[in-house]
């Protein structure tokens, strides 16, 4: 371990992680064994090795090594009979039992001499021959010769230089893809640059959108995600609320990509020029922000590819091109690509080159639209192609689909994945789902990016839950996973559906420009800024698989913890947005190094309030209209070491 699908796919880590490798290793007989990890990083020409240690209780061997470079790492495990350790153990046992050890001393001398004969280093060879001579020298007492044989210094020399005669290597070399830290820890903010205007009848520009970057950075976000910025098709253009009757000034859906101005490597002229985009990316970088672009492999009827490569699309028997559908939804303004067309190589290469084009303009993060509707083999190929020269690129899979497809896309190389979090709202649902993501096998390859809302999804929990629901969902998303995101408008509590029972927004920004006053009364700006600041100050919130759930005696209260070293956080959330809820929460004292009879202090990082708690069972009361949750940090006295 870790091993994913018999080595078919790579597990995921981030720079700075220690990769824990373990293995079950055994053989017949009573001989002692030795094992090591053999590994190499992306810039290594040769293998490095690290001895493994044996855990008798677990009956497993383990070691860990740091992964300190972005890219592809490889490792495997080697084991052998530890002839010297076996001899050393028997020598010590027989001597302690008062048995004759003359033969054992000669055997040890032969073992050292055999090892020395294969050494190129003259000092080590001379050292072993000298010690072998001492083992043979009958002028010394057996006790003295035994001390030579069991000396730690001799053990170290033999471990370093012994060449095993029965070296066995695990049958597979296993892969690890190591990402930059932002792949594991980041807060995403999605907004439409065309809405960065003061007039709903005038298209916003990159120059105007650039002014929004300061606000987003002030809020504490790390990644700015833009829906498609390409020219938008005119044929079958959608109007407000997805109507088929657009007005002459309606901008259309950004996902209907392509017109006479170009396709996936062009800029919508109303937004500005490619130079304007470059300045936008540069300003984001100055503020510490990554720009994530939407990568949507579909075309409007006006896309240049329709004329240049009609064979790349699905052609109906009557000669027309098939548009996209997700019944009952119809996307007449979008044509899907046929990834298994006759010119597969040409199509796949063109799709790869889109990535490379935008990487050339400073983009290192992509949110991939509906990857589950494209060829799965394509993603595995194209991600590997991009990573050959750009191993730091981050790919977010927007695949709200069946579990096995979501898992496979993550295995195929996607760095992060959208999740079912949007539809998990009760404590039991959240605990079951987040346990699956962070504690089971999925933790090795699936990084869940938790979005409470998207331009496509306004869940009924937000529609009817009011301010309490928005604040609780922000707290949950930002603390359950180190990667989370929101779609703009969330901070303004936008919650009107296009019709009852729908998850579509009324006046969806997908089809029209939305001018917002982000400082409007009642906004959640302060909540977001504080939440993102807390995340940056607490290492426990920056890790993925350290989530643990604990008991609360009220089914509306979710209680969980995240810990790293001396940074211990207890998070308690009222998931009922309408009613005050009370509970006794059961604090995991032993895990925190606390005792039943010693009081301890917890500080609410959201409010600054401090509470002195006693024992495992403590009372909480949460009014969603005032404070939907606690984010408590265990306050340890200066210098106290956690047990």
Over the stretch 117-133, which tens digit does the pLDDT of each residue have?
988 888 888 989 998 99
Average pLDDT in the chain: 95
Residue 303: predicted pLDDT: 97
Q: What is the DSSP letter of 497?
A: B
Pairing of strands 71-81, 60-66: unpaired
Annotated catalytic residue: which of 268, 398, 527, 576? 398
Residue 641: predicted pLDDT: 53
* Band (509; pLDDT cuts 50, 70, 90): very high
* Band (330; pLDDT cuts 50, 70, 90): confident
Q: What is the DSSP letter of 323?
A: P
Bridge partners, 179 (sequence order): 14
Rg, C-alpha atoms of the chain: 31
Mean pLDDT of 152-160: 88
Closest CA relative to residue 197, chosen from 520, 513, 491: 513
Catalytic residue list contains 380: no
Catalytic residue list contains 398: yes
Residue 640: predicted pLDDT: 62
Encode pLDDT of 167-225 as tens digits. 999 999 999 999 999 999 999 999 999 999 999 999 999 999 999 999 999 999 999 99
* Band (637; pLDDT cuts 50, 70, 90): confident
Residue 620, pLDDT above cutoff 70: yes
Q: How far, CA to CA in Å, does 274 sit from each of 360, 501, 562, 564?
A: 12, 41, 43, 44
Rounded Cα gap, residues 529 and 77, in angstroms: 46
Rounded Cα gap, residues 257 and 252, in angstroms: 10
Mean pLDDT of 440-459: 97
Mean pLDDT of 570-599: 97
pTM of the model: 0.94
Least confidently predicted of 40-44, 312-316, 330-334, 361-365: 330-334
Domains and CATH numbers, the chain: 5-82+168-178 (2.60.40.10), 83-161 (1.20.58.80), 345-415 (no CATH), 547-635 (2.60.40.1180)
Least confidently predicted of 56-65, 128-137, 427-436, 632-641: 632-641
* Band (643; pLDDT cuts 50, 70, 90): very low
Residue 642: predicted pLDDT: 52
Mean pLDDT of 561-572: 97
Q: What per-residue string of b and e applies to 379-403 under the rule 16 or more CB within 10 Å gives b?
A: bbbbbebbbeeebbbbbbbbbbbee
Encode pLDDT of 2-23 as tens digits. 999 999 999 999 999 999 999 9
Whole-number percent of the chain with pLDDT over 70: 99
Encode pLDDT of 282-329 as tens digits. 999 999 999 999 999 999 999 999 999 999 999 999 988 999 888 887
Residue 256: predicted pLDDT: 96
Residue 591, pLDDT above cutoff 80: yes
Annotated catalytic residue: which of 78, 179, 268, 369? 369
Mean pLDDT of 447-459: 97
């Amino acid at each position: 371990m870790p091993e994913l699908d018999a080595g078919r796919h790579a597990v995921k880590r981030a720079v700075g992680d220690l990769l824990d490798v373990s293995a079950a290793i055994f053989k017949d007989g009573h001989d002692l064994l030795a094992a090591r990890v053999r590994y190499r990083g992306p810039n290594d020409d040769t293998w490095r090795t690290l001895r493994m240690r044996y855990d008798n209780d677990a009956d497993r061997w383990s070691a860990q090594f740091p992964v300190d470079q972005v890219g592809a790492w490889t490792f495997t495990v080697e084991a052998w009979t530890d002839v010297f350790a076996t001899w050393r153990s028997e020598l010590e046992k027989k001597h302690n039992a008062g048995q004759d050890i003359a033969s054992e001393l000669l055997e040890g001398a032969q073992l050292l001499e055999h090892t020395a004969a294969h050494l190129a280093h003259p000092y080590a060879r001379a050292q072993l021959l000298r010690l072998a001579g001492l083992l043979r020298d009958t002028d010394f007492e057996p006790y003295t010769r035994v001390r030579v044989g069991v000396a730690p210094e001799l053990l170290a020399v033999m471990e370093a230089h012994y060449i095993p005669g029965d070296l066995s290597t695990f049958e597979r070399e296993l892969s690890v893809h190591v990402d930059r830290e932002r792949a594991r820890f980041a807060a995403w903010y999605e907004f439409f640059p065309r809405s960065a205007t003061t007039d709903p009848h005038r298209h916003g520009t990159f120059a105007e959108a650039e002014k929004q970057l300061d606000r987003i950075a002030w809020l504490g976000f790390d990644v700015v995600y833009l829906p498609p910025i390409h020219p938008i098709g005119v044929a079958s253009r959608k109007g407000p609320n997805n109507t088929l009757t657009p007005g002459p000034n309606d901008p259309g859906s950004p996902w209907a990509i392509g017109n006479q101005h170009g396709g996936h490597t062009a800029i919508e002229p109303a937004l500005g020029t490619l130079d304007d985009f470059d300045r936008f990316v540069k300003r984001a970088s100055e503020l510490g922000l990554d720009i994530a672009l939407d990568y949507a492999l579909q075309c409007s009827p006006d896309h240049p590819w329709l004329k240049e490569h009609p064979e790349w699309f699905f052609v109906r028997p009557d000669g027309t091109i098939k548009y996209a559908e997700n019944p009952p939804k119809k996307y007449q303004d979008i044509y899907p690509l046929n990834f298994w067309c006759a010119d597969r190589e040409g199509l796949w290469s063109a799709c790869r080159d889109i990535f490379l084009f935008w990487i050339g303009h400073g983009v290192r993060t992509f949110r991939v639209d509906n990857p589950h509707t494209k060829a799965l083999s394509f993603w595995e190929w194209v991600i590997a192609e991009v990573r050959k020269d750009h191993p730091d690129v981050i790919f977010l899979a927007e695949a709200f689909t069946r579990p096995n497809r979501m898992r496979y896309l993550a295995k195929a190389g996607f760095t992060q994945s959208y999740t079912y979090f949007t539809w998990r709202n009760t404590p039991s649902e959240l605990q079951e789902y987040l346990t699956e993501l962070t504690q089971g096998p999925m933790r090795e390859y699936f990084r869940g990016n938790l979005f409470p809302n998207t331009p496509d999804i306004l869940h009924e929990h937000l529609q009817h839950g009011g301010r309490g629901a928005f604040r609780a969902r922000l707290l949950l998303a930002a603390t359950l996973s180190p990667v989370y995101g929101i779609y703009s408008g969330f901070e303004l509590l936008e919650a009107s559906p296009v019709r009852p029972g729908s998850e579509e927004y009324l006046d969806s920004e997908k089809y029209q420009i939305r001018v917002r006053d982000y400082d409007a009364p009642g906004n959640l700006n302060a909540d977001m800024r504080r939440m993102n600041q807390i995340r940056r100050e607490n290492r426990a919130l920056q890790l993925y698989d350290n989530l643990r759930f604990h008991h609360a005696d009220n089914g509306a209260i979710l209680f969980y913890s995240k810990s790293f070293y001396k940074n211990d956080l207890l998070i308690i959330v009222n998931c009922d947005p309408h009613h005050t809820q009370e509970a006794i929460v059961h604090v995991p004292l032993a895990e925190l190094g606390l005792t039943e009879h010693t009081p301890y202090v917890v500080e609410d990082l959201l409010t600054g309030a401090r509470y002195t708690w006693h024992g495992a069972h403590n009372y909480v009361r949460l009014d969603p209209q005032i404070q939907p949750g606690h984010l408590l940090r265990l306050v340890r006295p200066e210098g106290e070491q956690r047990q």
